[in-house]
């Protein structure tokens, strides 16, 4: 086989993935997404059982190790297997950090988590362009080592990252929680004794523990003060699916995630079919990561999670439907420009929907099921992610097909969102009983809000 480029320029030339082997070129990407689905199925269990920090750091080390091994893979089969493993451990980072960030920030500052995450993602997507440009003369192995080197950040995490306070409390690890808040109090120059008193008060009204303490077990909370260690309630996803109302909302969340991923990745893969230069279209698609973050910041607390989600899905659906109608009715240059603009509006909506889903989903599930719930939603997103690349093939045969499918799915999602509960201004649920309160309304029309382990009534 003869190539116009150097043999080690890419995996295509390195492993001769052309002609009858051409289909193998896309297989590693499919295996990566399949691995992400497998990781989303398995790793959240370990995060909910053994902690966010532990699972995240092990996953991060795994990403770095597999990334280095990939750079030295000497066969296509080895490369493909490593891509599958990379997808598995990558989900351990994404899902645990999404849950961790939601649990660390108090309710009034939680929206900034979504904004920071979206901006960081957008910067990384855009950064691929200059990275690829400056390393364009290097082999794919050198590029692989350069990209996976960012995982050295795990060293900082090992040293400075503390376990989620909510997870520690929900699992009865009060000694570690007390140690961490004492350290935080010293760093922030806050009266340690005052913080400890508040901590003891918090422990005294936790609802995540069963009323009967195990005999003989005591925990030192402060000098001269002890408290019985309670048995912690453990959950599985079946506990959600056994309840009709909660199961319905979980299925809706899965559909929302699948639709967001299908639209998001589908629009990226079909960006080259839009009017104008394909590289410029990719860059414009990458830039569209930032407007959703600003919209999210402005409306997520003002109008609530449901209205924010509905706004983004409606933007995506409307943009895609209008672009499809113009594509079918006109083939002029002006029409192609309009199609590009409307497709970018759709990309804005899809990106915002993804961001809000990451933010909203953990607020639905209790602490000891939060990462499993987010993981199950991520599996649904992988289904959409695996279907997304086929939109490029569909566009080659039916130019209006992808837009019609994306738009229709998004408009249906907009309607289904009305069934979900509003979590705006509410504390994260600790127990299954707290989750039920998210859906409960009082006889006078007020809603129940969780606050500091207690329930209060607020007018709707």
Q: Tell me: the pLDDT tens digits for 132-165?
A: 778 878 888 998 898 888 888 889 999 989 999 8
Instruction: Count the Cβ atoms, other than its own, within 10 Å of residue 245.
Output: 13
Report in angstroms the alpha-carbon separations of 415 from 27, 346, 428: 35, 17, 25
Coil, strand, or helix at residue 227? strand
- From the list 97, 163, 90, the residue with the least C-alpha distance to 358 is 97
CA distances from residue 432 to 152, 240, 368 in whole angstroms, order as listed: 38, 8, 9
Count Cβ atoms within 10 A of the Cβ of residue 195 and give its class: 0-12 exposed, 13-18 middle, 19 or more buried: middle
Please give the Cα distance from 452 to 241 (Å, whole number).
Answer: 27
pLDDT of residue 1: 63
- CA end-to-end span of the chain: 70
Going from N- to C-terminal start, the domains of the chain cover 11-159+238-419, 165-232
Q: What is the pLDDT of residues 87-121, one digit of tens each?
A: 999 989 988 988 888 888 877 788 888 788 878 88
Residues 86/126/375/105 CA torsion (nearest 10 deg): 130
Name every residue whose Cβ is closer than 8 Å to that of residue 74 and which is 6 or more positions away in sequence: none
**pTM check: above 0.85:** no
Between 40 and 20, where is the model more confident?
A: 40
pLDDT class of 438 with cuts at 50, 70, 90? confident
Query: Two tokens at 454?
Result: 């207690």
Please report which residue ranges of 232-277 form alpha helices under DSSP H.
237-241, 244-269
Q: Are 84 and 34 in contact (CB under 8 A)?
A: yes
Over range 323-327, report the average pLDDT. 85
CA dist., res. 201 & res. 229, Å (int)? 15
Parallel/antiparallel/unpaired status of strands 447-451 and 225-232: unpaired
- The helix or strand, by DSSP H or E, that contains position 451, with its residue range, turns out to be strand 447-451
3-state secondary structure of 284: helix
* Three-state DSSP class for residue 236: coil
The mean-pLDDT minimum among 149-163, 322-336, 383-397 falls in 383-397
Position 68 scores a pLDDT of 94
Helices (H) and strands (E) in the chain, counts: 20, 4
Smallest Cα–Cα separation from 347: which of 295, 299, 390, 289? 289
Is CATH 3.40.50.720 what the domain over 11-159+238-419 is classified as, yes or no? Answer: no
Q: Tell me what pLDDT residue 327 has.
A: 80
Q: What is the pLDDT of residues 233-287, one digit of tens each?
A: 566 778 778 878 888 889 999 999 999 988 887 776 555 445 555 556 667 767 8
Q: Which of 259, 395, 393, 243 is nearest to 314 (CA)?
A: 259
Report the candidate in 450, 420, 357 with the shortest Cα–Cα distance to residue 102.
Answer: 357
Element (H, E) at 370: helix 370-387
Taking the C-alpha atoms of 247, 237, 442 and 209 in order, what is their torsion angle to the nearest 10 degrees?
A: 170
pLDDT at 450: 46
Task: Dump pLDDT digits (tens) for 182-241.
Answer: 888 888 888 888 888 888 877 765 544 343 444 444 444 444 444 444 445 566 778 778
What is the tens place of the pLDDT at every residue in 406-415? 889 999 999 9
Beta strands in 203-329 (DSSP E): 209-222, 225-232
Percent of the chain with pLDDT over 70: 82
Instruction: Check whether 433 has a pLDDT greater than 90.
Output: no
pLDDT band for position 44 (50/70/90)? confident
Kindly state the average pLDDT of the residues 79-93: 93
| pLDDT for position 420 | 92
Beta bridge partners of 447: 441, 458
Work out the mean pLDDT of the chain and round it to a whole number: 80
pLDDT on residue 417: 95
**Which residue did the predictor score with more confidence, 336 or 162?**
162
Is-contact 373 363, C-beta < 8 A?
Answer: no
Half-sphere exposure of 161 (CA within 13 A, CB side): 19
**What's the pLDDT score for residue 254?**
95
Which one is predicted more confidently, 341 or 78?
78
153: DSSP letter = G
- Residues 291 and 405: beta-carbon distance below 8 Å: no
Closest C-alpha to 389, from 32, 18, 2, 8: 32
Integer Cα distance of 161 and 155 in angstroms: 10
């Amino acid at each position: 086989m003869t190539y116009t480029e150097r043999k080690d320029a890419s995996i295509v030339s390195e492993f001769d993935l052309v002609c009858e082997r051409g289909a193998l070129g896309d297989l590693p990407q499919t295996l990566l997404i399949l691995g992400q689905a497998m990781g989303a199925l398995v790793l959240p269990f370990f995060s909910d059982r053994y902690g966010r920090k532990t699972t995240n750091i092990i996953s991060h080390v795994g990403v770095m190790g597999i990334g280095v091994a990939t750079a030295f893979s000497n066969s296509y089969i080895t490369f493909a297997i490593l891509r599958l493993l990379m997808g598995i451990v990558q989900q351990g980072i994404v899902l645990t950090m999404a849950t961790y960030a939601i649990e660390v920030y108090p309710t009034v500052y939680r929206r900034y988590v979504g904004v920071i995450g979206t901006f960081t993602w957008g910067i990384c997507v855009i950064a691929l362009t200059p990275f690829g440009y400056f390393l364009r003369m290097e082999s794919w192995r050198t590029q692989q080592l350069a990209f996976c080197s960012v995982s050295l950040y795990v060293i900082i995490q090992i040293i400075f990252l503390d376990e989620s306070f909510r997870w520690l409390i929900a699992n009865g690890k009060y000694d570690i929680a007390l140690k961490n808040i004492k350290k935080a109090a010293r760093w922030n120059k806050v009266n340690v004794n005052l913080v400890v008193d508040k901590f003891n008060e918090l422990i005294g009204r936790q609802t995540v523990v069963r009323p009967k303490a195990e005999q003989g077990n005591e925990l030192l909370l402060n000098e001269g003060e002890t408290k019985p260690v309670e048995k912690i309630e453990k959950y599985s996803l079946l506990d959600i699916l056994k309840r009709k109302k909660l199961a319905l909302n979980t299925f809706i969340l899965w559909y929302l995630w699948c639709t967001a991923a299908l639209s998001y990745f589908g629009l990226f893969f079909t960006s080259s079919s839009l009017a104008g230069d394909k590289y410029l279209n990719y860059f414009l698609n990458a830039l569209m990561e930032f407007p959703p973050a600003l919209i999210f910041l402005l409306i997520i607390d003002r109008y609530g999670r449901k209205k924010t989600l509905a706004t983004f899905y409606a933007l995506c659906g409307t943009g895609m439907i209008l672009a499809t109608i113009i594509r079918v009715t006109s083939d002029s240059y002006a029409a192609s420009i309009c199609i590009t603009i409307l497709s970018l509006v759709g990309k804005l909506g899809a990106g915002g929907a993804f961001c809000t889903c990451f933010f909203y989903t953990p607020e639905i599930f209790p602490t000891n099921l939060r990462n499993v719930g987010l993981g199950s939603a991520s599996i649904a997103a992988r289904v959409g992610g695996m279907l997304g690349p086929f939109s490029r093939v569909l566009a080659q045969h039916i130019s209006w097909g992808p837009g019609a499918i994306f738009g229709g799915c998004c408009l249906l999602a907009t309607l289904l969102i009305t069934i979900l509960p509003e979590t705006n201004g509410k504390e994260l649920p600790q127990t299954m009983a707290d989750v039920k309160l998210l859906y409960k309304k009082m006889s006078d029309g007020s809603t129940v809000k969780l606050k500091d382990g207690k329930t209060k009534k607020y007018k709707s």
